[in-house]
Amino acid sequence: MADVKKKTGLIVVNTGDGKGKTTAALGICVRAVGYDMKVAIVQFIKGSWHYGEIDGIKRLAPNVELFTGGKGFVGIMDDNLPREEHEKAARSTLEYAKELMLSGKYDILVLDELNVAVSIGLLKLKDVLDLLDKKPELLSLVITGRGAQDKLIEKADLVTEMKEIKHPYRKGILAQKGIDY
């Protein structure tokens, strides 16, 4: 095992149609806090709803900071915003994520729902790949969301696909507090 690096920043991608992508990223955050590491979470889509992870993440302060840049879920339920507002918010959020990434303040940067922002066309894949090319060597990036693009998967060091086997919604059970939101 020649030339083994002891410490390096990784690109981790959690994708797939199953639940648990953001939850797995939050597990990494909890683990990092155990080592007194600094983590920033930047959310690209979530934004208009209140969900438990917001309050839970506050309890991990000062080690974990949450930045919500999205304007909410695009084109579903109560979304009345023009698509251009979602696109502008996504671009602004990506720029802010770049600032955080290059700040030197964090050990881990979570880009929550970034895959979705790309797959629905709010962001260009090229812009995301350019961001990854600028990643500092020791910083780890954790990217979540269904629909990860092949070029992003190729660039990643670790890719996990969450696959739905069974879901309570199929039996008419709505999202549950503490499990789903």
The reported pTM is 0.91
What was the pLDDT predicted at 181?
76
Q: Measured between alpha carbons, how far is 11 from 109 in angstroms, rounded to an integer?
A: 10
Instruction: Tell me the average pLDDT across 85-105.
Output: 96
Is the model more confident about 163 or about 80? Answer: 163
pLDDT over 90 at 77, yes or no: no
Instruction: Tell me the average pLDDT across 150-177.
Output: 93
pLDDT over 60 at 65, yes or no: yes
pLDDT tier, 78 (very low <50, low <70, confident <90, very high otherwise): low
Asked if 130 contacts 124 with a C-beta cutoff of 8 angstroms, the reply is no
What was the pLDDT predicted at 7?
87
The three-state DSSP-derived secondary structure of 103-160 is CCCCCEEEEECHHHHHHCCCCCHHHHHHHHHCCCCCCEEEEECCCCCHHHHHHCCEEE
Domain architecture of the chain: domains with CATH:
11-162 (3.40.50.300)
pLDDT over 60 at 75, yes or no: no
pLDDT tier, 25 (very low <50, low <70, confident <90, very high otherwise): very high
Distance, CA of 36 to chain centre: 21
Is the model more confident about 159 or about 174? Answer: 159
What was the pLDDT predicted at 85?
86
pLDDT over 90 at 30, yes or no: yes
Greatest Cα pair distance, the chain, in angstroms, is: 56
Instruction: Tell me the average pLDDT across 4-17.
Output: 91
Is the model more confident about 177 or about 32? Answer: 32
What was the pLDDT predicted at 47?
65
What was the pLDDT predicted at 3?
63
pLDDT tier, 162 (very low <50, low <70, confident <90, very high otherwise): very high
Measuring CA to CA, which residue among 92, 163, 151, 154 is closest to residue 123? 92
What was the pLDDT predicted at 8?
94
pLDDT tier, 73 (very low <50, low <70, confident <90, very high otherwise): low
